Amino acid sequence: MKKRVVITGLGVVAPNGVGVPDFTKSLKEGKSGITCHDNLKDFKFSCQIGGVPQISDEKKSQYFTDLQLRGFNSSGILYGCIAGIDAWKDAGFDMDSESQLDYDTGLIFGAATSGVEKFREAIYGVDDGNVRRLGSTVVLQTMASGVSAYLSGMLGLGNQVTTNSSACTTGTEALLMGYERIQNGKTKRMLVGSCSDHGPYIWGGFDAMRVMTYKHNESPEEGSRPMSATASGFVPGSGAGAVLLESLESALKRGAKIYAEVLGGEVNSGGQRQGGTLTAPNAEAVQRCIRKAIENSGITSNDIEVINGHLTATSKDSLEIENWSKALGRKGTDFPYINSTKSMIGHCLAASGSIECVASIIQLKNQFVAPNINCEDLHSEIEALVDSNKIPTEKTDFNFDIIAKASFGFGDVNACVIFKKFNY
């Protein structure tokens, strides 16, 4: 029989809050973490706003040794390690460099690219004929699995340690991969999550695609407007989210605090067919992903009470709502509550799935639906499908058992996970 899997630790490094207490407070208050960035202006970006978590040097020193910080220039690894260590400690474990190797815990920490600033340094060094002076950490900081390499060593994890990469689906996919590994009895615990660098070199490609908003350079906090009639592209973000997954039996045996249960989920691809492309989703595959996630969780679509959408604030938001509506067979006042964490933190790209999974679990545990900020002017196509009361613009206290979280990514890839309030 498959193992039940629960969540026993959370960690988050988000533009509007670092650490679960601060992030929870921001979710409740609808606090934006989007600010102006002069370097984007200097580089002539169309979009000059973004979401960057605030990490002091003092905070860095609490997680990294001075030696690790020498020549360190990878914001994604920084965020990932902080979130991962926080989740680990939240679950009741210590960080001790002399600890015994733990064969019962693995790590799947995703990334899209790693250490892009460090990579830039290295490219300049190589081009200057100075490869001999790059130092010893370029590979470690720029390999895709850099975050997993750093983090697993800090914690001494001995089960599978790897990095997944599936664009903006990455974090949600990592969670489901870890879930399956525990479910199948391969390990007791999996630390899962994802991270994304910040800055012009990671965001530039998106600016070039004209998919980021250029209309809010003077009003950053109003820039990220998922589901709004005046949504004009996403706002780039960065950070990391981490979740410690554990078999129910292991969690009970340890007497661990349990945030929620992972009921199930689904990962699939639209194969860039039937309207799907490298950048646009195949709607049929999205709907199938949601339906399969529900089926795999042993519930029905009517059991979904809250949805944390992907909802980036591009023209695809209406299509996403239509996909949810069709997949669930629900609309109007019968539609579940839905929100987009991106309204507060922007689109944290590879980190979005994990940060938003953490946001979903926090809302479930604390029984509230976070507000959709910047959505006072709901898009008419969305309002035609969903009653506006189901898209709250204020924090809504709500007793509920089940939340669905989905993430979709470039390459036409989809992931949907179902979390349930834990009942023994």
Partner 1 sequence: MTNDELITKLKTIIEPYIQDEVAFKTLSEDTDFINDLKVNSANLVDIILDIEDEFNIRLENEDMEKMLDVKAAMLIINTKLKA
Convert residues 122-141 into a mask of x (bound to partner 1 by CB under 8 A) and - (unbound).
Answer: -----------x-xxx----
**Residue from 44, 67, 98, 278 binding partner 1 (CB under 8 A):** 67
| Distance in Å, CB of 80 to partner 1, minimum | 21
> How many binding residues for partner 1 (CB under 8 A)?
8
Segment 318 to 337, residues that bind partner 1, using CB under 8 A: none
87 vs 140, which CB is nearer to partner 1? 140
In whole angstroms, the minimum distance from the beta carbon of 71 to partner 1 comes to 8
Of 39-47, 65-73, 258-266, 302-310, the window that binds partner 1 (rule: CB under 8 A) is 65-73
Residue 137 CB, nearest approach to partner 1 (Å): 8
CB of residue 36 to partner 1, shortest distance in Å: 36
Q: Determine if 156 is a binding residue for partner 1 (CB under 8 A).
A: no
Candidates 236, 392, 241, 197; CA nearest to 314 is 236
Match 């994802």 to its residue by tokens: 194
- Which of 58, 66, 94, 98 touches partner 1 by CB under 8 A? 66
CB of 49 or CB of 138, closer to partner 1: 138
**Amino acid at site 114:** S
Instruction: Return the number of the residue (1 or 67) whose C-beta is nearest partner 1.
Output: 67
247 contacts 91 by C-beta, under 8 angstroms: no
Select 65 or 274, whichever has its Cβ closest to partner 1. Answer: 65
Interacting residue ranges for partner 1, rule: CB under 8 A: 66-67, 70-71, 133, 135-137
